[in-house]
Amino acid sequence: MAALHQEIIHELNTDCVEFCPATEHPDWLVLGSYQLNEKTGDRHGGIDIFGLHRGLASAPPRLSLAATARGLPGVFDARWQLINGGWLVSTALSDGTLRLYRAPLDLSDTPPAAPAAGPEAPPAGGGAGASGASDASEAAPQLLEVDRLKAATQMALCVDWAAVGDSSSSQREQVAAVGSSGGEVTLVQAAEGGLRRLNEWRAHELEVWTVAFDKHQPGPRSRRWGRRHVLYSGADDCVFQGWDCRAAAPAVAWGARTRDTGSDSDGSDGGGGGGDLSVFRNRRAHGAGVCCVAPHPAREHVVATGSYDERIRLWDTRKPSKPLITSQVPTGGGAWRLRWHPRDPSLILAACMYNGFAVARASASFDSVKIVESYAGHQSIAYGADWHPTLVAACGGSGEGDGGASSAGPAGGGGAGGGEGQAAAEVAAEGGGRAAGGSGNVVATCSFYDRRLHLWTTATQ
């Protein structure tokens, strides 16, 4: 079974989580939160940076609150990005802004050890215990806002980044795509003088839940340009769309245009919105809104999509104008977030909304995919999920002492570890799982209405 190392109870509803992808700073985690005031209609939220302490000997890893920002508009998405030589947190907010934040700490430092779980111990966030009234977030250093830009006329729902230009150069251009609740996609450049809008177009008829740049980047000796100019989007209109950003922002050094870009569709009116920006438009494959698009970080032409129709689909994009579905698997809940494993190219971590979290494994040729592990440790909508970039830890065993509930902020409600928390973390694993007592992958997941952040180890190798 999986091992639940820590449960943190937040003061707000939590909806997104991401470990810093930098190999030199893998132990820093960003958590985004969002709260709707149903009486006033106001949306507010915050972002928190947690440091992961790896523990000593057999001690499990644990998180501690390192920096925070409160009083923000609702946070729909939070992503790390290397900009002008430093790692920043970018956020897509309910007021339509894209904002950049810097943590007031040295990411090269080892995160401090978190307090041990137990009835006498303070919570991992650094407060005075589950029964205390102290606000851990007030004691934590405040994140520093670096820049902001009004990227959407309504709400900014998602953000993704591409580092474009010569991969051997340290002066690569950083371009963000932001999806909005009004159906628009906006391209933004992080220049030395600050964030700058490049272009905006009507991409979908309804909310754009996901945007993602293609991740393929040839090695430094290759003469080929990568496919970072290809942008994918998915929305509540059930459409999965591809865009050529070289047409949207010709001043950016995307690379020379080639014949790999066409304009075709599967069950559409041709190119769809965006004129000659459109590479393809598929509106038949998904039976409900497209929640997530996840290009493979290491396998060219492999893309995964998640949908409210409760399926993960794998796509072959070698024919850019008409990508083909190679396999699909039901998830039992809307596939809101998909994360490819940073080291094992076959594994996908999925946030399945009303059916918890799951690990899926694709075949070597990506022509089949199946669920190999399910995690039911959360009691509300599963939204945020990410793999730790490098860490593995013990899984299975009796579960004694593995869990630990704590609070981050004034919500409280945490208590001693083990017991109920570990029982909730039991999983069903098959085909590719590991025996109890082995080592699995460390992941962080968060859920909405119960305000939980979990740090746990998968049973899957």
pLDDT one-digit tens code per residue, 224-268: 556 889 999 999 999 999 999 999 999 898 865 544 444 444 443
- Is 289 contained in some domain? no
Token representation of residue 452: 């939980």
Max Cα separation, the chain? 65
- Is 223 contained in some domain? no
Instruction: Please state the rounded mean pLDDT for residues 386-404.
Output: 66
Average pLDDT, the chain: 83
Output the CA–CA distances (angstroms, integers) from residue 355 to 21, 56, 311, 380, 399, in the order listed. 27, 34, 12, 9, 22
- Is 130 contained in some domain? yes
> Percent of the chain scored above 70 by pLDDT?
77
Is pLDDT above 80 for 460? yes
- Is 294 contained in some domain? no
pTM for this prediction: 0.86
- Is 195 contained in some domain? no
- Is 362 contained in some domain? no
More confident residue, 113 or 99: 99
Q: What integer pLDDT is reported at residue 427 of this predicted model?
A: 42
Residue ranges of E strands in 74-207: 75-83, 86-93, 97-102, 144-150, 156-164, 173-180, 184-191, 194-202
Distance CA 242, CA 167 (A): 23
- Is 454 contained in some domain? yes
- Is 255 contained in some domain? no
Do the Cβ atoms of 78 and 178 come closer than 8 Å? no
Q: Spell out the residues 6+ positions from residue 267 whose beta carbon is closer than 8 angstroms to its own.
A: 282, 283, 284
> Band of the pLDDT at 57, cuts 50, 70, 90?
low
* SS3 of residue 455 by DSSP: strand
Distance CA 334, CA 292 (A): 10
Distance CA 225, CA 217 (A): 7
Q: What integer pLDDT is reported at residue 96 of this predicted model?
A: 98
pLDDT digits (tens, 9 = 90+) for 423-441: 334 444 444 433 345 689 9
142 is in which domain, residue-wise? 1-88+95-147+343-353+369-461
Output the CA–CA distances (angstroms, integers) from residue 62 to 107, 115, 284, 406, 412, in the order listed. 17, 8, 44, 11, 18
Q: What integer pLDDT is reported at residue 228 of this predicted model?
A: 84
Domain total in the chain: 1
